[in-house]
Amino acid sequence: MATTIADSSSMTISLAASSSSAAASSCLSSSSNSSQSSSTASTTTNHHVPIAITIPPEIFIVICEHLPPSDLLTLTGVCKRFRGFLCSPESSITQDIWRTSRLKFLSGLQLSPPEGMYEEEYVRFGKLLTSCQGCSTKKTVKVYWQFRVRYCHDCLMKNTTSIIFSKDHAWMNDKVLEGLVYVRHNNQVLFWTPDVKSSYKEFEVISGSKFMEWTEKRKQSRVRIMDDALRRDNSAASAEEEKNKQSGTTADTTQNIAATINEISE
């Protein structure tokens, strides 16, 4: 895909004049197809024939960088060529398109993606997709960055192992649990069940000098992931607070204008 993007040959966006079915099939095509389509469009009055507009790939990239992520997501469903162009993890250009759009339009996702997560995946996971990954409900759904899941309350509880929270953090003395990331939920501490099972298996076979190395490495990993999750939650909360402030200011301004108009009318 990176080779296709780097190709300096022009591409074609086929746009239907008045047919929704033609619009659904529009996508980037090669220059040769562009010439044939342009010729057909110029010699026929049939409005169902797509109008071919030939543009260089560089221009298409610039256009994409000015679109919000929701529009980019829509483009990925138009055709295979669009999807391939916008969903290539190996392409730095593809990543730049999503990054630019994210920074411009998503105030709650200003931090870089978590380690190992691509830009498009990050935007989908963190903002565009709103249903639970487990049951598809849209009620009480939240992103839990510690586990990298988007779950409703019920699915979260089904997939985690809980212990009672204590202020002395007694669970930290458990060699199996101390290196695991967790989520605080009411008076409980929730651990990702697959992590707990995996940790027990590792604990059973680790021994000698490797044990201390194993525990220390897990502690460092836990601290890094927990700190990262906290920063993302705080960033999203700050963005939401700022959004609410702006909404409140707009509402107050509207009310003041309405009150002024009423006074003038009287």
Residue 168: the pLDDT is 65
Question: For 178-235, what is each residue's pLDDT tens digit?
Answer: 889 999 988 899 999 999 999 999 988 887 778 888 989 999 999 999 999 999 988 8
Q: How far apart are CA 59 and CA 214, in angstroms?
A: 51
Residue 59: the pLDDT is 78
CB-based contact 75:13 (threshold 8 Å): no
The structure's pTM equals 0.67
Q: Does residue 254 carry a pLDDT above 60?
A: no
Q: Does residue 51 carry a pLDDT above 50?
A: no
Q: How far apart are CA 231 and CA 253, in angstroms?
A: 33
Q: How confident is the model at residue 5 (pLDDT cuts 50, 70, 90)?
A: very low
Side-chain-facing half-sphere of 185: CA atoms under 13 Å: 17
Instruction: Take residue 146 and report the two structure tokens written for it.
Output: 């510690």
Q: How confident is the model at residue 19 (pLDDT cuts 50, 70, 90)?
A: very low
Q: Does residue 21 carry a pLDDT above 50?
A: no
Domain ranges of the chain: 2-119, 153-247
Percent of the chain with pLDDT over 70: 68
Residue 85: the pLDDT is 78
Angle between helix 92-105 and 69-76 (nearest 10): 140
Helix (H, G, I), strand (E, B) or coil at 189: strand
Q: Which of 10-19, 58-67, 72-81, 214-223 is modeled with the greatest confidence?
A: 214-223
Query: What's the rounded mean pLDDT across residues 102-117?
Result: 89
CB-based contact 48:18 (threshold 8 Å): yes
